[in-house]
Amino acid sequence: MRKPIFILFLLFSCTTLFAQDRITISGTVVDDTGVTLPGVSVIEKGTTNGTVTDIDGNYSLTVRQGSKVVFSYIGFLSQEMTASQSITYSVQLKQDVVGLEEVVVVGYGELKVKDLTSSITTVKSDELVKTPTGQAMQALQGKVAGVQIVNSGAPGSEPTVRIRGIGSFPTSSNSAPLYVVDGMYFDNIDFLNPSDIETLSVLKDASASAIYGVRAANGVVLITTKKGAKNTKTSITYDGYYGIQVPQNVMQMSNAEQFVDYIYQTGSAVDISFIENAMQRYGRSRVNPNVPNVNTDWYAEIMKSHAAQQNHSLSVLGGNDKTSYSLGISYFDQEGLLEAENSYKRMNIRTSIDHQANDWLKTGVNFNVSNGTRYIADDGAWFSAYHAVPILPVYDDKHYEYLLSQGHTTASNYANAQVLDYRGAQNPFLQLAYTDNRQDIRKVLAGIYAEIELVPNLVRFKTTYNTSMMFLKARNVGLPYFISETQNSNRIHSTISSSRTTDVNQFWDNTLTYGDSFGDHNLTVMAGSSYRDEWYDYLVASAEDIPLNENAWYIGQTLSETSKDANDGAERLHGLSYFGRVSYNYKNKYIAYATVRREGTQKYQETWGTFPAFGLGWVVTEEDFIQEGSVLNYLKLRAGWGKLGNDKIARQDGANTTNPVYLAIDETQVDGTITTSTFGYLGWETVTGTNFGLNAELFSNRLSIEADYYIRDTEDAAIPVSLKLQSGSVLRNVGTIRNQGLELAVTWRNEISNNLSYTIGGNISTLKNEVRDLYGQAYLDGGQAEFRQRSQVGEPLLSFFGYEVAGVYQNQSEIDADPIATANGLVPGDLKFRDQNNDDILDDDDKLFIGSYIPTFNYGGFLALNYKNLEFSMNIMGQSGNKILNRKRGEIIWTNDTNIDADLAKGLWNGEGTSNKYPSAAGLRKGWNQNFSDYFLEDGAYFRIQNIQIAYNIKGDELLGRGMPDARIYVTAEKPLTVFKYNGFSPEVPNGIDRQFYPVPAIYTIGVNLKF
Amino acid sequence: MKIKHLIKYFAPVFLSGLLLISVIGCTDKLDEPFEDEAFTSDVDYSIGEDIKLPLLGAYYGLYTRGWEGPITLGIRGDDVNAAGDQAPMQEQDNFTYLPSHWNLNAVWQNHYNDIINVFTEMDEIEKYREAANNDALVDQYIAECKTIRAYLYLNLAKAFGKIIVIDQLDNIQNTPASNMEQVMQYIVDEMNEVIPLLPDMHPNKRSDVRGGITRYTAYALQALAYQEMKDYQGAANAAAAIISSGEYELSDDYYHLFKKAGKLDDEIILEFQYSDFGSATGDRFGHLFSPFGLAWDPAVTGAGGGWGFYEPTKKFIKFMLDRGETVRLETSVHWTPAGMAEIENEWGTLPDWIDNTNREGDVFIDNARKKWGAGKWIQPSTELTEGRNGPGSGKNMIVIRYAEILLVYAEALTRGANSNISMTADQAVNLVRARAGMDPLSGVSTQNVLNEKLAELGTEWDIRFHDMVRTENVSELTHEGKIFTMDKAYFVLPAPQVSELPQLEEVVNPTN
């Protein structure tokens, strides 16, 4: 683009101005209840000539006689009128229940919902804040078709978000979408307070997200924070809630009696002796003298019965005729469920200002500062609690006193299973009580933009510079304890590891936008460039033997100079791209849209890639053959196609690296180097998305339907290819993965009377994930060797691969009749694996795909009722079609002197006819039954009541007199009920492998919203 | 009017144009190298003394063994039980092998990791050739790497019977599997090639890598490979080369050979070196000895006992008692009270010196997991560096010692091999016996030697198991209810490996 062209443009455009007679119109804009609307935009159609209504809803504008004037306001249907003479035009805007007039932010610009050709779902502030959470994305669970959210209950941890399946190999790439917060790019938005968000839009298909290039392959979530509007009265809003989190579906473990029973069934003299040791040490139960007088429910011990959570936010919004502003402060505080230092607190301060400097320059600035502190409890405690034997008490005072008497100053009063001769200490409190992991997370994001009107109403240039900085200070301290004189289970010296991580990202975007109308043709052309610089580095140091008082938890305080160690690391990646977009519509009836992006990245060995996208839409209801007053109020058919690159894959070295190691030669530390034998070399992994959809409004806009069918193909997917002979893997572009599915969202809204209205709706989405090509390889193995996950053409990615359990051998004659059983020395109570090829030998050929962790069906639903000032809403959701690997049960392969869950203990085979599903107690410990089979897999389906809220609105003015705030008082039950069959705390397992994770609690809150 | 507009719009147009164009200037950023990476291509090969770095990298690979490695190799012998709670190990001890056993795959992969590491380290050493300006040294370092590789192949072949001998790293997929015979011949040939290039001295005399590989390490591996091939003449010749070098001598203190004092002893031909550098905190380069340990009341409070996965068999203990062994029994077996009672019950009154306390004062206590400990693998608590309470922190692992070579030599002679040195089979055996306080024998038979090997080397690695496999002595390996047949000589190949490399399923052509 060269300057002379612009100047030519200018010359032409200038001559057309001020050519006709001008009149002045004025009036008041009100809503359908007659309340005046400030901040309504009033624009002479096809020009930039316009104004906004003042605080009382009044406007005045000079226009060409006979021109059309458009009144538009967020949340209302636009209205057009012809200015034929200078009179007062008062306008009543109708509420836009359907949201077609709403403007959504699309990449580097905005589009009206009715002009969209792609699948975008927008969730607004009032819906978001119904979910009491510190993580905005949690609020989307079950609400957006095609978006899978998997929560974690750990305070401050973000949920796993997947948009339209899994296109990239999970372990080699981050499946998280791109988050664009007010034009700034993020990989996660854990720093945002949901109450600061105005709207959150999910760009699901590639034709919409392609403009964002390589960062958008997993979809895009666009977030706008709360903004002021011009000419609006200052509003001050307080919103706050207090709630308690309550553990849900707490897992039942074997109690002491069941455990003892199980151990006797195993027949293991060794384990039986441990029980005898426990009886000797802790006495015998009075109820059953063969059971030790200890019955510890470890989950109950490590969890609090409830934990608090609260959020408070205060915001100020407003604007005059040139400047609009928004500022706010919020505070979120969540206690963890574990009996340990375990919490998340975060304070956010934000401000944004937009200012019209003169007739060609608009500029604005945006700041968001987040200061969080997180105490992370050792997740390992969940794992220990599952496995700790119930015949071990939490405390062992006798042992404690003994240790003290021996002069061990750091003696611990927690019980140690090694005292009973168990291999490990087992007690989860050793993890909880003696660690202190603190993170101070400070994030700053700042953006500034200038928008220059190059040619009034035609050509606009916008330059935006955004920067985000993250400063993470992490301090992990291990406190000393002494628990065994005979085993190495003590922590003799305190330990500290302290790190400082800095992320500084800079983005500089420039766009040039041309927009014009020629009669019925509306055209917008945009071209731009984007530069990015993402720089991460850290410094970590560790030491042992630091003083125990917290103010001395510094590396320099160590009493052991030799224990000091330090390390650092960094990564800096640059990217550069050019992009353009054309959007066109004819009579608002035919819509076309195309984008192209040329992307350069430092990340891959193949530096440049070009990614196009286009979309088409047809608003059928604008056609003449659709009659006014028909049942069908609106129908748009749309189709989109887009291709984009994915850069969320780990950077590859692209060459061998040589790394230092040390070893001991003759008691002396000497250095050596290790050189890699393989290295990853990656080109672009591309995602091609095709989307067909429709939006329809029927029965006087009472029924809304949105349906989409999509195919999302990932080509040259970066997949870790196992190295031959050795351990490890290397990433190569060797796969094609397809996700396809149908998404349907239906909403029915009705106003029965002025006092009573309701909305009911639901969404379903199907997902078929399939490996389409592996570039000549029969399959690729992944997961852990003992719990094999295999990717093979025609199967979902990383499907579980093993034997199918046909039942349990019930008696000796069944064993004798089966050559497999006799060849492997099986006994009744062992699992019978199906001999798929009937060759009487059980081997690899009998393994098959036994399930996938990817749910094939997701659904959600909601009901909202408004009666006078009372609101009731409820959301439900669920999923099915996936399997969960019960890896907790699988742990018995490595350690078998531990507890088992109650379901397993009750279901064990114990004589003919007792079980055809679980092996005998002795069988649990045999390698044969530990072969990976569907014994370890369980149904991952669940149904949940996601959210119930009851709110009461009080109009301050009416009830309490002028000047009093409007108030809204609400109570919420979040996730009060989850129904599932899986033997675990929660079926929310991100990668389908349940080894240890923080369960998701129910939350009950009471809150108030005050608006001054 | 036009001029006025031009001026009016100049500022915005100029500004916009400037910004748009300046972005293009950022293109060269895409070609910047990655932060925090040391690419092999950036290594400065002109610093000749750095040639030692890749060599030590190869030793690093050799010394870093998984905990399951030595145990998995050792448990099948009639000298050792898999105790503790590891189902796959107990099943393997019982000669039941499943392709899904996790430890088999781990042993396989760990060995190959280190073999492949040797390949890259040899390439790196070669790159320093010019700067090192010492062809003999470069050749020696590469020869050391090949010796390390040969040791790893020897272990693998003895465990699995069928492995892949890598030709080119990028051609593994197409390399056929080799059988035991082929691998042993490969080792013999490799060692012939490297022997002249290696230093002619005891490992503890090396000044650059003390305790590293020397010519006699290669001879020892060759002797062991010949022995597996039942080429006893070859074994005798290789062993004779070690004996006649005069570099090796049996330690006069059998007990302390396996303790701290035995590190880099004159008897040791190959050992893995570990150390916590005498410091309570900070860096430590060690092996996880926990699985060998057993419950105890340590002389040093807080010293870790261990998991109890590796236990001498009653058969071995009674064999030692029957022979009237003293220091070798004391060194090889730690007793618990229950273990003493059980043997007393089954064998008879124990000699007075047998006790459940070791020389250093650690008291071994009853524990349901196991009744005896394999003392050669257990470090007394008094030898721990203060503040380091992990079992065996800083303990070395002896792999090949002179006593074994003497007995390999003796066995070869009893099987008719000739020797070009003067030492007889009787002399070799009696050297070993004398050190253990045993009376000399005369006219030793093959069986005498094999018994001596069990007494001398019992619980050390897989030496006993493979002696019995080699001699197809099914009845000895069938012990204490575990039934051995010759088809159990080798583990099954790990399922994950077979599925990756189908050639492992094919029958190896024995005629090369």
A492 within domain boundaries:
no
Which helix H or strand E contains B154, and what residues bound it?
A: helix B135-160
Per-residue model confidence (pLDDT) at position A13: 38
Two structure tokens written together for B456:
């001398």
Which of A421, A530, A666 minimises the CB distance to B367?
A421
Kindly state whether residues A112 and A229 are assigned to the same domain. yes
Nearest chain A CA: its distance from B211 CA (Å): 7
Q: Is the pLDDT of residue A740 over 90?
A: yes
Cβ contacts of B300 on chain A, cutoff 8 Å:
none
- Residue among B16, B32, B60 whose CB faces A674 most closely: B60
Q: What is the DSSP letter of A509?
A: E
* Number of other residues whose CB lies within 10 A of the CB of residue A122: 17
pLDDT level of residue A875 (50, 70, 90 thresholds):
very high
A621: helix, strand or coil: helix
Rounded distance between C-alpha atoms, residue A898 and residue A426, angstroms: 8
The one-character DSSP state at A697 is E
Distance in angstroms between the alpha carbons of the first and the last residue of chain B: 96
Domain assignment present for residue A327? The answer is no
Q: Which of B196, B108, B116, B178 is nearest to B148 (CA)?
A: B116
Please say whether the beta carbons of B498 and A844 come within 8 A: yes
In a domain, A37, yes or no: yes
CA–CA min distance A927, chain B (Å): 6
* Average pLDDT for A948-966: 81
Higher pLDDT, B502 or A778: B502
How close are the terminal C-alpha atoms of chain A, in Å?
A: 50
| Window 490-549 of A, Cβ < 8 Å to B | 490, 492-493, 508, 510, 512, 529-531, 533, 537, 543-545
What pLDDT digit, counting tens, does each position of A399-413 carry? 999 999 999 999 999
Per-residue pLDDT at B509: 54
Q: A270, B368: Cβ pair inside 8 Å?
A: yes
How far is it, in rounded angstroms, from Cα A741 to Cα A167?
Answer: 13
Give the whole-angstrom CA distance, residue A122 versus residue A144.
9
Minimal CA separation from B2 to chain A, in Å: 7
Tell me how far apart the alpha carbons of residues A12 and B415 are, in angstroms, rounded to a whole number.
109
**What mean pLDDT do residues A859-869 have?**
93
Other Cβ atoms less than 10 A from the Cβ of B511: the count is 6
Q: How many CA atoms lie within 13 A of B18 on its CB side?
A: 6
Q: A564 at the B interface (CB within 8 A)?
A: yes
> Is residue A567 packed enough to be buried (19+ CB in 10 Å), middle (13-18) or exposed (0-12)?
exposed
The three-state (H, E, C) secondary structure of A419-440, written as one string: HHCCCCCCCCHHHHHCEEEEEE
Beta-bridge mates of residue A81: A69
Using CB atoms, pick whichever of A568, A657, A724 lies closest to residue B501.
A724
Residue to test with chain A: of B15, B52, B85, most A Cβ within 10 A = B85
Q: Quick one: A50 and A119 in the same domain? A: no
Which member of A454, A488, A670 has the closest CB to residue B16?
A454
In this predicted model, what pLDDT tens digit does every residue of A221-239 receive, in sequence order?
Answer: 989 888 888 888 888 999 9
Query: Which residues 104-123 in chain A show a CB within 8 A of chain B?
Result: none
pLDDT score of B25: 65
Judged by average pLDDT, the poorest of A164-168, A350-354, A708-712, B135-139 is: A164-168
Which of B30, B277, B497, B501 would best serve as a mutation to test chain A binding (most A beta carbons within 10 A)?
Answer: B30
Domain boundary among A234, A266, A282: A234
- Tens of pLDDT, residues A381-399: 999 999 999 999 999 999 9
Q: A93 to chain B, minimum CA–CA distance in Å? A: 36
Q: What is the mean pLDDT of residues A472-500?
A: 92
CATH of the domain at A228: 2.170.130.10
φ, ψ of residue A160 in degrees (nearest 5): -85, 130
Average pLDDT over residues A333-352: 93
Shared domain for A192 and A86, answered yes or no, is no
Residue of chain A whose alpha carbon sits nearest to that of B166: A725
Report the DSSP beta bridge partners of residue A58: A28
Residue of B nearest to A721 (CA): B500
Higher pLDDT, A219 or B466: B466
Interface contact flag, A655 B40, Cβ < 8 Å: yes
Please state the pTM of the whole predicted model.
0.81
The percentage of chain A sitting over the pLDDT mark of 90, rounded to a whole number, equals: 50
* Residue A486 to residue B295, Cβ atoms within 8 A: yes
pLDDT of residue B7: 56
Residue A61 CA to residue B79 CA, distance in Å, equals 102
Q: How distant, in Å, are the alpha carbons of A13, A302, A515, A984, B27 from that of B14?
A: 18, 66, 20, 64, 22
The verdict on A173 and A289 lying in the same domain is: no
Q: Name residues of chain B where pLDDT drops below 70.
A: 1-25, 507-512
| C-beta neighbour count of B296 within 10 angstroms | 28
- Residue showing tokens 């008691």: A667
DSSP A804: P
At residue A168, what is the residue type?
A: S
Instruction: Tell me whether residue A128 is in a domain.
Output: yes
Of the candidates B457, B441, B102, the residue with the CA atom closest to the CA atom of residue B250: B457
Strand partners, B41: none
Q: Identify the residue with better confidence: B470 or A644.
A: B470
Q: How far is the CA of B68 from the CAs of A310, B45, B94, B292, in angstroms?
A: 49, 37, 17, 10
Contacting residues of A for B21, CB less than 8 Å apart: none
Closest-CA residue in chain A for B293? A487
- Nearest chain B Cα distance for residue A856, angstroms: 29
Residues A63, A114, single domain; the answer is no
Is residue A628, in this structure, part of any structural domain at all?
no
Residues A215 and A261 in one domain: no
Nearest by Cα to A257 from A227, A292, A226: A292
Is residue A489 less than 8 Å (CB to CB) from chain B?
yes
Cβ pair B277:A788 closer than 8 A: no
A663 touches chain B (CB under 8 A): yes
Q: What pLDDT does residue A700 have? A: 84
pLDDT band at A4 (very low <50, low <70, confident <90, very high): very low
Whether residue A186 is found in the same domain as residue A284: no
CB-nearest to A663 from B34, B59, B109 is B59
For B353-387, the DSSP string reads T--SB-TT-PEE---TT-SEEEGGG---GGGSPTT
Report whether B34 contacts A657 (CB < 8 A).
no
Residues of B in contact with A544 (CB under 8 A): 281-282
The values of phi and psi at residue A1009, to 5°, are -125, 120
Q: Is the dihedral of CA B472, B476, B482, B483 positive or negative?
A: positive
Measured between CA atoms, how close is A448 to chain B, in angstroms?
A: 14
Residue A140 resides in a domain: yes
Task: Say if the Cβ atoms of A562 and B166 lie within 8 Å.
Answer: no
Closest in A657, A724, A825 to B39, CB measured? A657
The answer to whether A717 and A171 are in contact (CB under 8 A) is no
Mean pLDDT of A898-917: 94
- Looking from the CA of A205 toward its CB, the CA atoms found within 13 Å total 30
Residue closest to A471 by CA, chosen among A538, A376, A534: A538
Distance from CA of A800 to the nearest CA of B (A): 14
Name A980's bridge partners: A942
The mean pLDDT value for A600-613 works out to: 84
Domains along chain B with CATH numbers: 47-81+95-253+482-504 (1.25.40.390), 293-377 (no CATH)
Residues near B453 by Cβ (< 8 Å), separated by ≥ 6? B404, B407, B411, B463, B464, B467
pLDDT of residue B273: 97
Classify residue A87: in a domain, yes or no: yes
- CATH number of the domain where residue A14 is located: 2.60.40.10
Residues A118 and A69 in one domain: no
Say whether A670 and B56 touch across the interface (CB within 8 A).
yes
Distance CA B394, CA B308 (A): 19
Nearest by CB to A675, from B5, B29, B120: name it.
B120
Position A26 scores a pLDDT of 85
Provide the shortest C-alpha distance from residue A883 to chain B (in Å): 22
- A458, A513, A816, B447, B478 from A526: Cα distances, Å: 11, 4, 77, 91, 82
Q: Are residues A146 and A187 in the same domain?
A: yes
Tell me if A967 sits within 8 A of A1009, measured CB to CB. Answer: yes
Dihedral angle over CA of A663, A667, A670, A675, nearest 10? -20
Under 8 Å between Cβ of A861 and A943: no
In a domain, A525, yes or no: no
Look up residue A769 and give its amino acid.
N
pLDDT band per the 50, 70, 90 thresholds, residue A11: very low
- Tell whether A778 is within 8 A of chain B (Cβ): no
Among the candidates A41, A64, A92, a domain finishes at: A92
Lookup result for tokens 């372990």: A171
A154 and A186 share one domain: yes
Instruction: Give the distance from residue B199's alpha carbon to the nearest chain A alpha carbon, in angstroms.
Output: 17
Half-sphere exposure of A341 (CA within 13 A, CB side): 15
Q: Assess whether A126 and A209 both reside in one domain.
A: yes
Question: In the prediction, which pLDDT does A782 show?
Answer: 80
**Mutation site, A280, A576, A675, interface B, largest B CB count within 10 A:** A675
Who has greater pLDDT, A359 or A1009?
A1009
Across the A:B interface, residue pairs with CB atoms under 8 Å apart total 320
Using alpha carbons, list the distances in angstroms from residue A184 to A189, A505, A571: 11, 10, 20
> pLDDT value at position B156?
97
Nearest to A67 by CA among A101, A20, A26: A20
Helix (H, G, I), strand (E, B) or coil at B245: helix
Would you tell me how many other CB atoms lie within 10 Å of the CB of residue A867? 13
Lowest mean pLDDT among A492-501, A711-720, B462-471: A711-720
Which residues of chain A have a CB within 8 Å of the CB of B88?
893, 927
* Structural domain count, chain A: 3
Phi and psi of A74, rounded to 5°? -60, 130
Cα distance between residue B406 and residue B249, in whole Å: 10
Candidates A360, A543, A931; nearest CB to B12: A360
Mean pLDDT of chain A: 88
Helix segments in A80-162, DSSP class H: 125-128
Decide which of A275, A294, A313 is a domain's last residue: A294
Which domain, by its residues, includes A152?
Answer: 103-234
Q: Do both A109 and A229 map to the same domain?
A: yes
For the record, the structure tokens of A707 come out as 């349906």
Alpha helices in B170-271 (DSSP H): 180-194, 215-228, 232-245, 254-257
